[in-house]
């Protein structure tokens, strides 16, 4: 592990028990995040992105069948930590999560200031006045007038509510903030202003981010690195420039070709077929059925080949070109 590594995730699994069987939503995922780095977890709907966030933040539904792996944050092993210690020392303190549509989950009858100071009051035991002063500081940081501390959520626009939710995530000065589709419920202009805000916060605060999205355009705004998920697994991790300019995995290549571009002559190509069910994913490479380059070897589960220090690809085409 490099000294610049903040978070290291190894072989993470989150499986759910359902009446139809076990859903392998996160199935052997490994990656790392450096200090002050933004890692974008990209993937189509249902590939396990939110489940990954839930496993890291330990906000799990009742029907978990298995959660396992190794997660290290700044040298502290998190998976073996008791729930009590995790809630006291990690959750909302060192790692925050902005959940999908959380701007609509603010309590409508409590003033936003009171909601933003909650982690400071409840988890860190700060007195009210000190917590309110800190909330005012964070409001300024995220571009919300401090007058709004006294307002109720419904008095605020969607964009302002999203900034309040970000303030809530940042108020304890966490080392890592996980954002699950933070702009999907907003109009395009507000989306752009939130992405600009995130870029500024990253620069000013030195925080690390994991941004979860299905949208390639959004991901390219903030990403230092990209992890592409497919059917519960990461198929490629690469520096953003490498990923966007020269994607390595056949799925990454097709995904990039499917994105419309302004000055493009050719029409964007849709990827034929559907991802496999996570109930009983097929043996071998999960993308093989849709892959134009598949060959016999793909019947076996591919290794996650390391092409260089920062790039790994789960595809047999790279066998012999990188370390497993
Ligand atoms: N509590 C649960 N019980 C059973 N299956 C679940 C549960 N939560 C999620 N799933 C399933 O796990 C798989 C991954 O879901 P997840 O929400 O993590 O994907 P996602 O990539 O975040 O998709 P989206 O962007 O649509 O939320 C899906 O097949 C989903 O139906």
pLDDT at 1 over 60: no
Cα 288 from Cα 306, distance rounded (Å): 20
Cα within 13 Å of Cα(274), Cβ side: 5
- Between residues 186 and 248, the one the model is more confident about: 248
Strand partners, 91: 95
Under CATH, which architecture does the 5-94+177-182+208-318 domain have?
3-Layer(aba) Sandwich (3.40)
Secondary structure of residue 110 in the 3-state scheme: coil
| 50 Cβ closer than 6 Å to some ligand 1 atom | yes
Q: In this structure, what are the phi and psi dihedrals at residue 213, rounded to the nearest 5 degrees?
A: -155, 160
In this prediction, residue 291 has a pLDDT band, given cuts at 50, 70 and 90, of very high
Ordered by start, the domain boundaries in the chain are 5-94+177-182+208-318
Distance CA 191, CA 126 (A): 33
Residue 273 — pLDDT band, cuts 50, 70, 90? confident
Contact 132, 99 (CB under 8 A): no
For residue 280, is pLDDT > 70? yes
Mean model confidence pLDDT for the chain:
92
Q: Which atom of ligand 1 is nearest to the CA of 100?
A: 27
Residue 174 has pLDDT above 80, yes or no: yes
**Measuring from atom 25 of ligand 1, which residue has the nearest CA?**
45
State mean pLDDT over 100-109.
85
Is the interface score ipTM higher than 0.90?
A: yes
Q: What is the pLDDT of residues 232-246, one digit of tens each?
A: 999 999 999 999 999
For 25, phi and psi rounded to 5 degrees? -70, -40
Tell me what the mean pLDDT of segment 155-163 comes to.
Answer: 91
**Ligand 1: residue whose CA is nearest its atom 29:** 46
Q: Which helix (H) or strand (E) holds 73?
A: strand 64-73
pTM: 0.94
pLDDT at 182: 87
With the C-alpha atoms ordered 227, 9, 83, 63, is the resulting torsion angle positive or negative? positive
The residue whose C-alpha atom lies closest to atom 28 belonging to ligand 1 is: 46
Ligand 1 within 6 A of CB of 15: no
């Amino acid at each position: 592990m490099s000294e610049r590594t903040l978070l290291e995730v190894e072989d993470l699994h989150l499986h759910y028990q359902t009446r139809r069987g076990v859903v392998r939503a996160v199935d052997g995922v490994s990656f790392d995040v450096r200090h002050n780095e933004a890692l974008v977890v990209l993937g189509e709907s249902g590939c396990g992105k939110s489940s990954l966030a839930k496993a890291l933040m330990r906000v799990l539904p009742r029907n978990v069948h298995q959660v396992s792996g190794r997660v290290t944050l700044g040298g502290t092993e998190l998976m073996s930590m008791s729930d009590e210690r995790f809630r006291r020392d990690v959750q909302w303190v060192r790692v925050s999560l902005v959940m999908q549509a959380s701007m609509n989950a603010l309590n409508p009858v409590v003033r936003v200031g009171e909601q933003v100071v909650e982690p400071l009051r409840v988890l860190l035991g700060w007195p009210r006045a000190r917590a309110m002063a800190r909330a005012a500081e964070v409001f300024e940081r995220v571009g919300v007038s401090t007058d709004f501390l006294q307002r109720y959520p419904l008095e605020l626009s969607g964009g302002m509510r999203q900034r309040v939710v970000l303030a809530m995530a940042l108020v304890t000065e966490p080392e890592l903030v996980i954002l699950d589709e933070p702009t999907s419920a907003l109009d395009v202009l507000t989306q752009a202003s939130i992405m600009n805000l995130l870029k500024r916060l990253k620069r000013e605060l030195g925080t690390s981010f994991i941004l979860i999205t299905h949208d390639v355009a959004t991901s390219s705004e903030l990403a230092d690195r990209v992890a592409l998920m497919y059917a519960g697994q990461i198929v490629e991790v690469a520096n953003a420039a490498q990923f966007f300019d020269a994607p390595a995995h056949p799925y990454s290549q097709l995904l990039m070709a499917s994105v419309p571009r302004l000055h493009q002559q050719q029409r964007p190509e849709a990827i034929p077929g559907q991802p496999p069910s996570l109930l009983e994913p097929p043996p071998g490479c999960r993308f093989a059925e849709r892959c134009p380059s598949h060959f016999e070897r793909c019947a076996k589960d591919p290794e996650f080949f390391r092409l260089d220090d920062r790039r790994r690809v789960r595809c047999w085409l790279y066998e012999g070109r990188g370390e497993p």
